[in-house]
Amino acid sequence: MTLELVTGNHAAGYALAAAGEANRFARGAACGIYPITPQTEIVEYVAKFPFSKGRIIAVESEHSAMGVSIGASMAGARAFTASSSNGLAYMTENIMVAGLYRLPIVLAAVNRTLGPPWNIWADQGDTLYLRDFASIQLYCETNQEVLDSTLLAFRLAEDRRILLPVMVIMDAFILSHTQTETDLPEQALVDDFLPPLLLPHQLNFDHPATIGGLTWPRETLSQRIEIDEAFERVPAAYEEHRAEFRRIFGRDVGGMISMEDTEDAEAVLVASGTIASTARQVVRQRRRRGERIGLVKMKMFRPFPGEALLDACPKAGKFGVLDRDYAAGLGGVWWHDLRSAMQGRRDGAIVQGYLTGGCGGDVTPDMIDEVIDDLLNRRSAGKPVWKGIDR
Amino acid sequence: MIEIRIHGRGGQGGVTLAKIIATARFLKGDSVQAFGLYAAERTGAPLQAFCRYDREPITNRNLIYEPDHVIVLDPTLVGPAITAGLKPGGWILINTDRFPYEFAEQFPGYRAATVDATSIARRHELGTRSVPIVNTALAGAVARLLDFDLESVRAALEHLAFRGRNFDAAAEAFERVVIVDDIDRTGAAPRRIAPPTARVRGIVDGGGAERPGIRTGQWATQQPRRREWTPPCNHVCPAGNDVQGFLQALALKQTDEALEILLRTTPFPSICGRVCPAPCMESCNRLSLDEAVNVRELERYAGDHGKCSLRPRSFRAQQIAVIGSGPAGLSAAYHLALLGYQVMIVEGGPALGGLLRTGIPPYRLPRDVLDREIDRILDLGVEVVRNTRIDRRRLFDLASEFDAVLVATGLAELRSLDLGSTGDDESVMQGIDFLDRANRGEMRVDGERVVVVGGGNTAFDAARSALRLGARRVRIVYRRTLEEMPAIAEEIDEAIEEGVACDYLTLPVRIERGGGEARLGLICRRMQLGEPDASGRRRPVEIAGSDFRVEADRVLLALGQSPDLSVFPEGTEVRDGEDVLGLLQTPVYAIGDLATGDGTVAAAIGSGRRAALGIHSVFSGEDLAPPPTRGEEVIRSGAMKLHLFESAPSHHGMSRPAEERRFDQEEVHAGLADPAEAVRCLSCGVCNECDRCVTYCPEGVLKRVGHEFIFDYEYCKGCGVCAAECPRNVILMARL
């Protein structure tokens, strides 16, 4: 294992390129790319990569970038792209199309605040709002996790039981532009982990087919049900590929969720992305002071691993959800999903939302402490609490 | 865990310095983070970079608020912000050529160190001289302060592939860093900063209009400045008209204002708007885009439709005589009268106007237009004496009676051509005389074959007049080609439309009487073009044995004119705008064609005005003459951002059809119906308040108040967008 100092963008670009290169004995790698801060370095990396087979096409918009990747994927290439913020918003129609076409495209997304006003810093709102499309979402905490999850994403996406796009997501700047030590695996290992892609519905001149034409409600419904069934198979498939990842690379890519002292915890923080790092540090400190609190780090957002979360926190009666996002008129998206998952399973538990670090705000240990204090003192849940600003 | 904050400016390599330090520690087995605080990614903007390292894995992902040490890449950033949150006893490392003691005093409770990384970087040729890259030198200083050896910096630089003299710079800084290590522990505890907490005003309650707290003008390395240029049309106008100015007034449909602008320099907008060869249109920058702005027709429009009359600006007792009432004399009289002088015009003939009346036919310059513009001058109180010829003796008399005398007798000597037997039956005439008599209604050429010799405006006026006076056939013979013809191009086209035939490269040699159908035979010789002559035009060379006969009942000679200097003493040198005699201490000036030979109305107007201003300067000491424009002050098309303008065809006024107009003396052109053509003027090099700069300023630091554009240099970052967007190059970026 050789550690290098690289940014999150570099890690994502490395993994996308290595995965694409691993398909050189099949149909190669292909994608459309378009720049936007803070993900531009990702597409720059893959654009410079000397692929043995394949083509990287610079296009005029994010919508077209995903369009090219859709076409490439349908033709059997290992396809991917990257975007952020308003770029994702503009790409949205084709993200939806990729899912409904059941294409195993990996989308590296760097969370950036949606504008206006113009703000380049981290906010998960630009990916969470894609929650209703047929796409798996994986949120990362470190540069290593970005790299590893990107490789895992291809295996998960290309699994014939799944065949869905996967979004690998990181916080703007906190990961994308921060250099930390990261293992960049050799191509041979990536080749082992990612066998050549053979898409079952790959376009084929010998067997012409019409795809995406008009279907009646019943046929369309059956397509949606197939997607729902695929999502149901994701947790089991994820664990299989996670085990395979450990076998080949010798480390854990991380679970769909991961726990810190939750077995006996009475109060649990729920966090994702880099906020989980800072929260874990605070939770550990307070544990040492004897407080029975825990942390669940959410890596997977769709499908939402609510059951796993509740199983991991058998004693918890209070959940504090840290959302680096804001769904207008609602509050935090993670908070909302957790409340749904609770329904009929842990009725009476307090599920309190905290809007922390949205719009690029910094989440400090002090802020996490305040959240924990607030949660512990609560007798009932209330409206989501805005943090980082006096109101 | 050690946390370091770096204060630098965009482009100085602060983030890279964080990475070098992180790499050095990473290679020693530490867990590390290196990151920047990204915002306005502009060169020169203050920015911060951070570095963390620890023996244990680093888990926190927040920004650094309480650094252990700070590094300052740019000494101009030294201020309270650099110690914000800094832990007591921490290092402050500053890139400066000053000693650290003053900083130690300024920031009690900390350890201060300085190193002149800029000089070190320059010495090792890192970056450019203006923007040296100081980060590798500072890495050396950091290694010294934080006790990691120089070898770890070498390893980090090699790992990052920073080769060349980077390590030499680090090593030099390692040696040279000056350290103050005695901490004043009594200093007040540093103020702790936290993330901003106060809620700012929202967009709905107008928070968007708040000025930023940081005076971002300090970041600028350049600033926009306004500087206007001379448009080429103004530069070349022989009359000195503010062409761009009156066009812009017309573009705003301010016809009266346009006329006023013209009347400041010329009494004859309606005349020049009909007969000027318009060198402004030949120099128009719009030619690089599509077609020249039709300045001539627009001047006519302003003159014909505007309402404005200027009044004398004061009363001056000096009496000035103007000899000759052609355009130069009238222009001088006009400007002198406007300045307040008592002017008397002495005209040899019965009517005022000189060649304007005798030489230019009414179908090009209707007599009511001419009279109206002359009346404009007489209305200022100018007196006129008609039918009075001035000879050398009368000139001396006038010089003693008046305070100044202007001689504007024009080109009275007509050039001729020896064609042998010219006879005395008027079958061979000077074109000018023909026109004069024709214009007075004393001439007919019914059924005649008329041949005109020459290629200037007189030749074409004579030819077209001959058509109107009943000629059966009119042809022009010219020894060069169409290209070389000095006549206005439009007049040539119109003459040909009306049926005038042109024989180019044809030299009249002699006249034969009888021997053919017509009264005369003009024997001509074919020419071909040879080497260029002094004027740059190719010299016509005769082709031997090519003589042929042109049947002619009348031959009109239009070969140009020369000044008649007989009014002056023998040997007098005449120069435009200069006192020629010094008679009785009275200034005597020769002006117009007499002095310049330019041969255009516009040049005569300019000459008359210059003389008037010169005399005014003699009498009053007040110099009203505009300073001469130097060539480099003129904006050429290359400096205009022509891509910002749309191509649009030129407006041409309506002309009467040739078959109708060739039989009468009514005006050929109807002129423009409206001044829309003026909108095509690009206003080269002169701000016309298009507000594009204001619209495009991304910072909102440029605003227009009335006619004034104000840059708020306190906030202007010097991005240069206004200069890039100014279509007419009025905004330039000045280096600070």
Nearest-CA residue of chain A relative to B203?
Answer: A117
Count: domains in chain B: 3
Domain endpoint, select from A203, A222, A249 = A249
- What integer is the mean pLDDT of A162-183? 96
Per-residue burial over B26-64, b if 16 or more Cβ lie within 10 Å, else e, is bbeebbbbbbbbbeeebebbbbbbbbbbeeeebbbbbbb
Q: Which of B180, B195, B215 is the last residue before a domain boundary?
A: B180
Q: Which residues span the domain enclosing A348?
A: 257-386
> Is B595 a member of any domain?
yes
Q: Is A363's Cβ below 8 Å from some Cβ in B? A: yes
- Report the range of poorest mean pLDDT among A215-219, B204-208, B679-683: B204-208
**Both A100 and A184 in a single domain?**
yes
Rg (CA), chain A: 21
- B111-115 and B178-180 strand pairing: antiparallel
Residue B308, classed as helix, strand or coil, is coil
B522 and B382 within one domain: no
Query: What is the pLDDT, as a whole number, of residue B199?
Result: 57
Q: Are residues B65 and B8 in the same domain?
A: yes
Contact A84, A112 (CB under 8 A): yes
Res. B204: pLDDT tops 70: no
Residue A294 in contact with partner chain B when CB distance is under 8 A: no
Note whether residue B473 is domain-resident. yes
Q: What is the DSSP letter of B387?
A: S
Exposed/middle/buried for B643, CB within 10 Å: 0-12, 13-18, 19+? exposed
What is the average per-residue pLDDT within B653-657? 87
Q: Edge-to-edge strands of the sheet including B588-590? A: B383-385, B342-346, B319-323, B404-407, B588-590
Q: Residue B583: which pLDDT band, with cuts at 50, 70 and 90?
A: low
* Shared domain check, B157 and B10: yes
Residues A316, A203 share a domain: no
Q: How confident is the model at residue B343 (pLDDT cuts 50, 70, 90)?
A: very high
B472 with B578, same domain?
Answer: no
Same domain, A288 and A235: no
CB A74 within 8 A of CB A110: no
| Mean pLDDT computed over B449-472 | 94
Q: What pLDDT shows up at residue B519?
A: 86
Q: Do A169 and A87 reside in the same domain of the chain? A: yes
* B66 to A385, B54, B87, B186: CA distances (angstroms): 26, 15, 6, 20
Nearest CB to A120 within list B33, B38, B195: B38
* Pair (A243, A343) in one structural domain: no
| Beta-sheet strand order (sheet of A300-302) | A54-58, A29-33, A78-83, A106-111, A166-171, A136-139, A300-302
Distance between CA atoms of A56 and A60, rounded to whole angstroms?
13
Measure CB to CB from residue B62 to each of A38, A141, A364 and give the nearest one.
Answer: A364
Of A117, A178, A366, the CB nearest to B35: A178
Question: Do B485 and B584 belong together in one domain?
Answer: no
Are residues B47 and B161 located together in one domain of the fold? yes
Residue A159 lies in a domain: yes
Q: Omega of the bond prior to B269 within 30 degrees of 0, cis? A: no
Collect all residues of chain A within an 8 Å Cβ-Cβ radius of residue B3: none
How far lies A9's CA from each of A23, B141, B143, in Å? Answer: 22, 30, 29
Taking contacts as CB-CB distances below 8 angstroms, the residues of chain B near A121 are 38
Assigned domain for A391 exists: no
**A178: chain B residues, CB-CB within 8 Å:** 33-35
Please count the residue pairs, one from chain A and one from chain B, whose beta carbons lie less than 8 angstroms apart.
Answer: 76
Residue A331 CA from chain centroid, whole number: 20
Contact B262, B303 (CB under 8 A): yes
Query: Are B323 and B386 within 8 A, CB to CB?
Result: no
| Alpha carbon of A283: minimum distance to chain B alpha carbons (Å) | 12
- Lowest mean per-residue pLDDT among A15-24, A35-44, B12-21: B12-21
Residues B490 and B601 in one domain: no
Q: What is the DSSP letter of A384?
A: P
Q: Is B69 in the same domain as B137?
A: yes
Q: Where a domain ends, among A249, A280, A303?
A: A249
The helix (run of H) or strand (run of E) holding residue B158 is helix B150-159
Q: How far apart are the first and last CA of chain A?
A: 49
In this complex, do B38 and A173 lie within 8 Å of one another by their Cβ atoms?
A: yes
A340 in a structural domain = yes
Three-state SS at A80: strand
Question: Is A379 at the interface with chain B, CB within 8 A?
Answer: no
Residue ending a domain, among A220, A249, A278, is: A249
For residue B176, pLDDT over 60 is answered with yes
Q: Which domain holds residue B555?
A: 442-559
Considering A162-166, B123-127, B577-581, B696-700, the range whose residues carry the highest mean pLDDT is A162-166
Asked whether residue B641 carries a pLDDT value surpassing 70, the answer given is yes
What's the rounded mean pLDDT across residues B641-657? 91
Q: Which residues contact B430 (CB under 8 A, 6 or more apart)?
A: B414, B416, B556, B557, B558
Contact A23, A194 (CB under 8 A): yes
What is the average per-residue pLDDT within B334-358?
Answer: 95
Q: Which of B34, B61, B195 sits opposite A277 (nearest CB)?
A: B61
Q: Let me know whether A217 and A300 are in one domain.
A: no
Those residues whose C-beta lies under 8 Å from the C-beta of residue A390, and which sit 6 or more positions away, are B197, B198, B199
Q: Are residues B386 and B522 in the same domain?
A: no
Of B120, B146, B180, the residue that ends a domain is B180
pLDDT at A390 over 80: no
Q: Extract the tokens encoding A23.
A: 């398909």
Mean pLDDT of B128-152: 89
Give the number of domains in chain A: 2
Question: Cβ(B507)–Cβ(B532) under 8 Å?
Answer: no
| Contact yes or no for B195 and A280 at CB 8 A | no
Task: Compute the radius of gyration of chain B from its Cα atoms.
Answer: 40
- B59 vs A278: CB contact, 8 Å cut-off? yes
Residue B348 maps to a domain: yes
User: CB distance A275–B195 less than 8 Å?
Assistant: no
Residue in chain B nearest A274 by alpha carbon: B61
Is the Cβ of A165 closer than 8 Å to some Cβ of chain B? no
Q: Which residue has the higher pLDDT, B11 or B607?
A: B607
- In this structure, what CATH number is given to the domain that contains residue A27? 3.40.50.970
| Residue B679 per-residue DSSP state | G
pLDDT of B292? 96
Give the bridge partners for B589, in sequence order.
B406, B579
Write out the two tokens for B131.
Answer: 């923007």
Contact A117/B203, CB-based, under 8 Å?
Answer: yes
CATH number for position A329: 3.40.50.920
Cα A70 to Cα A32: distance, rounded to the nearest angstrom: 9
Note the Cα B462 to chain centre separation in Å: 38
Single residue among B559, B580, B597 that ends a domain in this structure = B559
**Which positions in chain B have a beta carbon within 8 angstroms of at least one beta carbon in chain A?**
18-19, 22-23, 26, 31-36, 38-39, 58-63, 65, 194-199, 203
> Do A83 and A208 have their domain in common?
yes
- Residue B207: inside a domain: no
- The secondary structure of residue A232, as a DSSP letter, is H
Interchain contact, A5 vs B63, CB within 8 Å: no
**Residue to substitute from A39, A170, A181, interface B, most B β-carbons within 10 A:** A181
Length of chain B: 736
Model pLDDT for residues B434-459, shown as the tens digit of each residue: 999 998 889 899 999 999 999 999 99
Give me the CATH number covering residue B355: 3.50.50.60
pLDDT surpasses 50 at B189? no
Split at pLDDT 50, 70, 90, the class of A141 is: very high
pLDDT of B210 strictly over 70: no
How confident is the prediction for chain B on average, in pLDDT? Answer: 89
A281 and A375 co-located in one domain? yes
- Reported for B364-372, long-range contacts at CB under 8 A and 24+ positions apart, including other chains, are B364/B274, B364/B275, B364/B461, B364/B491, B364/B667, B364/B668, B365/B271, B365/B274, B365/B275, B366/B666, B366/B667, B369/B270, B369/B271, B369/B274, B369/B304, B370/B271, B372/B270
* CATH code where residue B14 lies: 3.40.920.10
pLDDT tens-digit profile of B711-727?
999 889 899 999 999 99
Residues A41 and A63 both lie in one domain: yes
Q: B380 and B465 share a domain?
A: no
Residue in A38, A280, A390 nearest the CB of B199: A390
Q: What burial class does residue B531 get, using C-beta atoms within 10 Å of its C-beta: 0-12 exposed, 13-18 middle, 19+ buried? A: exposed
- Residues A234 and A264 reside in one and the same domain: no
Do both A232 and A317 map to the same domain? no
- Return the pLDDT at B191: 40
Same domain, B39 and B127: yes
Same domain, B146 and B11: yes
Mutate which of B23, B28, B61, B199 to test chain A, going by most A C-beta atoms within 10 A?
B61
Statement to judge: residues A80 and A183 lie in one domain: yes
DSSP-derived secondary structure for A168-189 = EEEETTTTTT-EEEEE---HHH
